[in-house]
Structure formats: structure tokens, C-alpha cells
Structure 1
Amino acid sequence: MRTIRNIYEAEYRPIADLKTYSPMPTANLRMIDPFLFLNHHGPQKYPPGNRGLPFGPHPHRGMETVTFILDGDIAHKDSGGNKSVIESGGVQWMTAGSGLIHSEVSSEKFLKEGGDLEILQLWVNLPAKLKMTDPFYKGLQKGEIPQVSFDDGKVTAQVISGSLSDRRGAFETLSEIHLSTLFFKSGGVFSTRVPKSHNILCYVIRGEIRINGENIHSLKLVEFNNDDEQLRIEALADSVVLFGHSEPFNEPVVARGPFVMNTVEEINQAYEDFQNGKMGRPA
């Protein structure tokens, strides 16, 4: 069994009235290459006539964002002309690449009626050779994402990218990033094999799980050693887990604000290009 290196608690960092927990980066964990950043918004209930999500137009370059809408919705617009409203259970994948400006706010319906909201946003690095690739966006609703079951239906996985149990994910990616959302009933067991060379991302969104004799509660992220292929997760309560893995890129990472590049010079160029309008007009 693959062994645990460390368990990290998400830091509470509210954004205006939006509850936000940040498992990565923190003072104790910079990244799990190539996974750069993870924010967990909610869960919370918004009243009718609310202001919704606060993520107005802002730029990105050199990385990808993967957004998991567990509850509520997101209205996406970007400078490439893409727009969508993705609802509960859906996922957005955006390749910032050479740069674009996007906004992620709540739909007019959600602003008017309110409701439950819970969202994860993950940043995935791009390797140096793909930093300046063309931007791309795709949003899918829950019913458009493949699912696979384990342990007689006690565990259901949404296969977001890569593959799981021979099922290909909903998004074809530029690098081999494997991502799934795992939904456990209490007592359910998920077993899989991950190449030793791959780094694992494992974050407990809700509930409580056990790995290698360690009980791990919600809002905790698990870092593993690269010492075995076999992984087993048992749910001690109804639980939801973000699970992913990838070969690390092992490249320099220079992150400043919304840009993630390999050198300080590239970061400075990103800011200059943004200020000169080369990432398009605000969405």
C-alpha cells in the first residue's frame, strides 16, 4: 500500500461573504506537482437577492483551472468568446495557456433566488513547452460526465480526465492528468493502482475516510510517498473526495498572482502583455 507522507488541514480564508478553505498552497505545503492550488468555497446557503460569487474579470497564463460545481452554479465568460452556466454536479476545464481573461460569477437565477453553494477550484500546471498554447474552455453538466461504480455501488466516481477503471474521462487534456470526484456511502471501499512515479492529489471534501489506518476528516489534504502502486480508501461516513494523480513535471515554478510560469522574466512579460491588451478584452 502507498504510505502517507503528511496530512494537511485547509486554512480558512474567506473572500468577502464567501466561505473559503485553502488546502494548497499553505505555509506547510507549496504544491503537489503538477497540482498547484486548491480552493474550497462553501458549503453555504445564499439568501434571495444575494451578490453571488465575487470572481469578476481577471487574467490567467501558463496553467489550467478545473472547477467542480458541487452545489449552486457558475456563469462563465471569457475573452475567447466562451460563455456557459454550469450547474450542480458539472465541471469546467479552462486552459489559460498564452493568456485570457475570464469571469466566474453566479447566474441571474441564483442571484435572484439564492440557494446552496459549494465549489472547488483546482489549478493544474502546464509544462514549459505548453505554457503558451492556445487558450481553451469547455463546461459540462453532470449528465455529460462519465461515471463508474465500485464496491457494489457503494462508491461512485465522476471521471473528469485521464482514466479510471478503463473509463476515459470527460475532458481530453494536454498532459496526462487523471482527475475524479469520488462519492462514498458509509463503509464503501475504493481500491486502485497508481504508477509509483505519479504524485497523488487526495482531498476530503465531506465526511471521513481511512487510508493505511489513518482516519482523515473533511477539509484535509493527504500527501503520499511514491513507494507503492496500490491505494485503498475506506469511507467511515458518507463522503466526497477529490482524487487525482499525474507524473510530476519537475520544472521550475514561478507563480505571481494569476500567472504561473517558469521564470521571473516570463511573469514580468505576462503582466506586460496583459496591460497591453494581448490577452483580450475583459469578459
Structure 2
Amino acid sequence: MRTIKQQHRAVSAPIADLITYRALPTQSVEHLDPFLFLNHHGPQHYSPNNRGLPFGPHPHRGFETVTFILAGDIMHQDTGGHESIIEAGGIQWMTAGSGLIHAEVSSPAFKRTGGDLEILQLWVNLPAKDKLTAPRYIGLQEPEIPTVTLDEGRAQIHAVSGEWGGTKGAVQPLADIQLATINLQAGGKLDLIIPADHTIFFYTIRGKLRVNGQETEALRLTEFNYDGDDLHLEAHTDAVVLLGHAKPFEEPIVAYGPFVMNTQEEIQQAYREYQAGKFGTWKS
């Protein structure tokens, strides 16, 4: 059974009137290679005639954003020509690659009627060889994400990428990144085998559970050592977990604002090319 190195509490980092907890990076953990960043927005309730999400047009290069919509919705637009409205239970997988501009806001319907909102956005690094790959975007609604049901229905794995229990995830990414959300009913148990040389990304979204003998709860990021391949979960209450794993890239990481590259010169080049309009032209 793999041992736990440390648990990290997500820190409050509100963005305008949007409740936000940042689980990665914090003062206690910089990154978990190749997982770079996680913001947990909400949960909160929006009244009718609200302004919605505040993420207007902004650029990215050199990594991927994976967005999990737990409640509410998100409207995506980018300079690659992609547009979508993804509702609760769905995901967005955007490969920024060589660079694009995108916006993530609430749909006109959500801003008009309001409702509950809870969204997670995870940044996943790209290996050096793929940093300048062509951008792409995948938006999937809940029915398009395969579900693996275990423990007589008390455990459900929503297979976003990679392979889980012999079921291929909805997305097959450039790098071998395995991602899933896991729903556990109180008393539910789940055993998984994850290669010992993989980084595990384990974030508890809701509830209380025990993982490999240690208690954890909502807004906790659990960091593991690289010393075993067994993962055992047991829920004390109904719980939701974001679980990922991947072999570390073990490459230099230089991040500045919306760009993640391998050298400072590559960051400067990204800014020059963005300012020169090479990320596309935003159409409002």
C-alpha cells in the first residue's frame, strides 16, 4: 500500500465575488509533476440576473486545462473557433499547446435564472516535445463520460481520461494522463492499482473518507510517496474525489502567468508572440 507523504489544505483565494479555493500551488506544495494547478470554485449559489463567471478572454500556452463542472454551467469560446456550453457533470479538456485565447463564462441562461455553481479547473503540464502542438478543445456532457460502477453501486468512477477498471476514458490525451472523478456513498469502498512510479493527484472535493489508512476531508490535497501501487478508499460520508495519476515528466518547469514552458526564454517568446497576435484574434 502506498504511503502518504503529506496532506495540504486548499487556501481561500476568492476571485471577485466567486468563492475559490486553490489546492495547488500553495505554500506547502508547488506542484505534483505533471499536475500544476487546481482551483476549486464554489460551491455557491447565484441569484437571478447575476454576472456569472469572471473569466473573460485570456491567453495560454504550453499546458492543458481540464475543467470539471459539478454544478451550474460554463460557456467556452476560443480563437481556435471552438464554442460550447457544458452543463453539470460534464468536462472540458483544452490543449493550449502553441497558444490560444479563450474565455470561460456562464451561459446567458445561468446569468438570467441563477442557481448553484461548483467548478474545478486543473492544469496539466505538456511534455517539452508537445509544448507547441496545435491547440485543441474537447467539451463533453455528463452522458458522454463512461462510468464504472463498483462495490454494489456504492462507488462510481467517471472515467475522464486514460483507463479505469478496463474502461477507456472519454478523452485520450497526448500524454498518458489518467483522470477521473469518483463518487462514494457512505460506507463505500474502492481498491485501485496505480503504478508505484506514477504521481498520484488526490483531491477531496466533498465528504470525509479514509485513504490508505489516513483520514481526509473536503478541500484537502493528499500527496503520496512513490513506494507502493495499492490505493484503498473507504468513505465515512458521501464523498467526491478528483483522482489522477501519471508518470512524472521530470523536466524543468518555468511558469509565468498564463504560460508554462521549460525555460525563461520560452516564456519571453510566448509573450512576444501573444502580443504580436500569433494566438489568434478575439471576436467578441
- Shorter-chain TM-score tier: over 0.9
Task: Provide the secondary structure at the position in 2 that maps to 1:191.
Answer: strand
Which residue number in structure 2 is paired with residue 219 of structure 1?
219
- For 2:98, the aligned partner's letter is S
Identify the range of structure 1 (204-213 vs 179-188) with the bigger mean alpha-carbon deviation.
204-213
Which residue number in structure 2 is paired with residue 79 of structure 1?
79
Q: CA deviation at 1:281?
A: 1.2
Q: CA deviation at 1:213?
A: 2.4
Residues in 2 aligned to 1:187 and 1:171: alpha-carbon distance in whole angstroms? 30
Which residue number in structure 2 is paired with residue 261 of structure 1?
261
Q: CA deviation at 1:215?
A: 1.0
> 1:44-80 deviations in whole A, cap 9, x for unaligned?
0000000000000000000000000000000000000
Q: CA deviation at 1:127?
A: 0.3
* Structure 1 unpaired stretches of 5+: none
Which residue number in structure 2 is paired with residue 229 of structure 1?
229
Q: Is the 8 A contact 1:34 1:246 kept in 2?
A: yes
Q: CA deviation at 1:282?
A: 2.1
Task: Provide the secondary structure at the position in 1 that maps to 2:228.
Answer: coil
Q: How many residues align?
A: 283
Q: CA deviation at 1:190?
A: 1.1
Which residue number in structure 1 is paired with residue 61 of structure 2?
61
Are residues 1:44 and 2:44 paired?
yes
Which residue number in structure 2 is paired with residue 88 of structure 1?
88
Which residue number in structure 2 is paired with residue 99 of structure 1?
99
- For 2:260, the aligned partner's letter is V
Are residues 1:205 and 2:205 paired?
yes
Which residue number in structure 2 is paired with residue 29 of structure 1?
29
* Structure 2 unpaired stretches of 5+: none
Identity %: 58
Q: CA deviation at 1:150?
A: 1.3
Runs of 4 or more above 4 Å deviation: none
Are residues 1:155 and 2:155 paired?
yes
- For 1:103, the aligned partner's letter is A
Which TM-score applies when normalising by structure 2? 0.99
- For 1:125, the aligned partner's letter is N
- For 1:268, the aligned partner's letter is Q
Which TM-score applies when normalising by structure 1? 0.99
Which residue number in structure 1 is paired with residue 120 of structure 2?
120
Task: Provide the secondary structure at the position in 1 that maps to 2:152.
Answer: coil
Q: Is the 8 A contact 1:3 1:225 kept in 2?
A: yes
Residues in 2 aligned to 1:205 and 1:230: alpha-carbon distance in whole angstroms? 21
Q: Is the 8 A contact 1:178 1:244 kept in 2?
A: yes
- For 1:38, the aligned partner's letter is L
Residues in 2 aligned to 1:257 and 1:49: alpha-carbon distance in whole angstroms? 31
Residues in 2 aligned to 1:46 and 1:211: alpha-carbon distance in whole angstroms? 33
Which residue number in structure 2 is paired with residue 186 of structure 1?
186
